[in-house]
Structure 1
């Protein structure tokens, strides 16, 4: 994922770009703090066991007929 801060002087805003996503911040400091936290989380070690049970929506579980990370 490409993550970077973009200063937009016309709108007096800072945007953090994450590939096709954009998040607006009032100050460059807020934007940099967000990028630092996001990068720390992206670069943190992740367990395959933790990822195998993950669901993007609460209450939705993996289907038995679809392979998951644990089986890979």
Structure 2
């Protein structure tokens, strides 16, 4: 996954891009903190059992258990 921060001085916003996805933040500090946490989670050890249960498109029932980025 390609992750980088874009600074938009015209809108006074920061964007964190993750491949084709982007998330807006009010400050550069918030954006950098998000990137650090995301990288830590991506680089953390993962068990094969956990990875085998993962699906890129969970069903509606599985979505009910997902949290939004602010809750994470």
TM-score tier, shorter chain, comes to 0.7 to 0.9
Please, which runs of 5 or more residues in structure 1 have no aligned partner? Answer: 60-72
Number of residue pairs aligned between Structure 1 and Structure 2: 59
Q: TM-score under structure 2 normalisation?
A: 0.75
Q: TM-score under structure 1 normalisation?
A: 0.75
Matches within 5 A, 1:51-70: 51-55=51-55, 56-57=58-59, 58=62
Q: 1:13-50 CA deviation, whole Å, 9 max, x = no partner?
A: 00001111110000000000000000000001111111
Please, which runs of 5 or more residues in structure 2 have no aligned partner? Answer: 64-72
RMSD: 1.5
